[in-house]
Amino acid sequence: MEPEHEPTLVDLAQRYDSEDIIGFIRSFVSDLRSGFEAVNAERFPWLTTLRQAPWSGVICLGMGGSGAGGDFLSTLTDSKGSCPVLVSRGYSLPAWFDATWLVLATSHSGNTEETVSAAQTALEKGATVVVIASGGHLAGLPEISDRCYLIPTVGGQPPRTAFGHIFSRQLACLEALGLLPTMTDTHRDGMLLRLQQHNEHFDILKNPEGDIALLASSLMEQPIAVIGPKELSPVLTRFKNQMNENAARFVRTGVLPEMNHNESVAWGGIGEDADPEAGNQALLLLTWEGMLPRVRQRLDWMVAHASTETAWNLTGEGETLLEVLLYHCLVMDWLSTTLALLRGKDPAAITPISSLKAHLNSIQ
């Protein structure tokens, strides 16, 4: 009788990946391209009209995977934008909100109740709302208000896997409105080509012994902490969320330099103040070449002195902050999905979220 062989990642994907999450990750770059191409003033003439308005800023409404793009837009406009972009996750709007703020309401399904509620409130206040949705209540709002406009997105997949479709439309919208610099076709094509090459390199079924698989294997037993500079905070948040949903794993996040003013004590390494669990945590450092030198010095000091024995530096590759952010998205999507498979979890399974939604629907 022959001994059973250890299942490969190909075996595990066939066994557990019920909704082809890997297929969605493979299409990430093509999703980005189609989204960039879908949004322009020729297709949506109202973009030209809205471009003339002196907006105080943009407030992005959205939850979970549908809301993640707002964080990315906020970081990009902090770097090169012409107005602030803020993110609001919830049922209501800030007390200071008025109609001088453009609202970008995103829901993959179009039925996210928090987003629908906040968008309706914005319209009641006389605001202009741009909707990005595949259908649902949110996509119907333009039919009842002449201050609401729809950019349709692609449905039929879990929201967290549709980030390429969603974020590219959000970004193209802000570029068309003149709120972010427009990337030339040449630069965009170059970025997408490089990202596609990285995506193929990270593919765990084509490279089952590659960096992603090795890193995932090393993270099976330890708690995970992810730290990076402020400008990478959107991918820190998305890393945590993808690990939560895909792999059912908790992740602690920390942002430099802020965490140096508080969390560094718990990490320890100097004196006897470290949290007892600090040494058992796997520390992932998300970095890029554009980090401020002073922030890099802080990170280097922490690595040298923190009490953890396992740390990895995941350096984002790219010619711009946008490209680096998208590179890190690819890493976290592959890594979280690989961890799910190694743990025997279907990366598409989100039973607690579905159960909560059913509970809320039953008591409306």
pTM of the predicted protein model: 0.95
pLDDT in tens, 190-238: 999 999 999 999 999 999 999 999 999 999 989 999 999 999 999 999 9
80 domain-assigned: yes
Write the CB contacts of 160 (distance below 8 Å, at least 6 apart in sequence). Answer: 64, 65, 68, 241, 242, 245, 246
Phi–psi pair at 86, nearest 5 degrees:
-115, 155
Q: Is 197 part of a structural domain of the chain?
A: yes
Q: Is residue 162 part of a domain?
A: yes
Nearest to 9 by CA among 355, 315, 341, 346: 341
Q: Domain residues for 241?
A: 193-342
- The CATH number given to whatever domain includes residue 274 is 3.40.50.10490
Residues 128 and 209 in one domain: no
Q: Which of 148, 182, 216 is the last residue of a domain?
A: 182
Asked whether residue 217 falls in the same domain as residue 129, the answer is no
The distance from CA 180 to its chain's CA centroid, rounded to whole angstroms, is 19
Do residue 332 and residue 250 come from a single domain? yes
Q: Are residues 338 and 200 in the same domain?
A: yes
What is the rounded CA–CA span in Å between residue 208 and residue 303? 29
For residues 100-132, one letter each, b for 16 or more C-beta atoms within 10 angstroms of the residue's C-beta and e for the rest, the string is ebbbbbbbbbbbbebbbbbbbbbbeeebbbbbb
Q: What is the pLDDT of residues 109-160, one digit of tens each?
A: 999 999 999 999 999 999 999 999 999 999 999 999 999 999 999 998 998 9
**Looking at the structure, do residues 87 and 166 belong to the same domain, yes or no?**
yes
For residues 37 and 169, give the distance between their C-alpha atoms in angstroms, rounded to a whole number: 9
Q: Are 174 and 314 found together in one domain?
A: no
Q: What is the dihedral of CA 352, 238, 343, 334, to 10 degrees?
A: 140
One domain for residues 332 and 202? yes
Considering the domain architecture, whether residues 259 and 163 belong to the same structural domain is answered as no
Please tell me whether residues 217 and 280 are part of one structural domain: yes
> Do 170 and 245 belong together in one domain?
no
| CA–CA distance, 94 with 86 (Å, rounded to integer) | 11
The reply to whether 238 and 337 lie within a common domain is yes
Q: What is the pLDDT along the chain (364 residues), one digit of tens a residue?
A: 455 678 999 999 999 999 999 999 999 999 999 999 999 999 999 999 999 999 999 999 999 988 899 999 999 999 999 999 999 999 999 999 999 999 999 999 999 999 999 999 999 999 999 999 999 999 999 999 999 999 999 998 998 999 999 999 999 999 999 999 999 999 999 999 999 999 999 999 999 999 999 999 999 989 999 999 999 999 999 999 999 999 999 999 999 999 999 988 888 766 566 777 777 889 999 999 999 999 999 999 888 887 777 889 999 999 999 999 999 999 999 999 999 999 999 999 999 988 988 898 898 7
Is the domain of 111 the same as that of 242? no
Residue 59 maps to a domain: yes
Residue that terminates a domain, selected from 147, 182, 217: 182
Q: How far apart are CA 347 and CA 237, in angstroms?
A: 18
Q: Rounded to whole angstroms, how far apart are CA atoms 364 and 360?
A: 7
In the listed set 182, 212, 246, which residue is the last one of a domain according to the structure?
A: 182
Q: Per the structure, how many domains does the chain have? A: 2
Q: Is the peptide bond before 257 cis (omega within 30 degrees of 0)?
A: yes
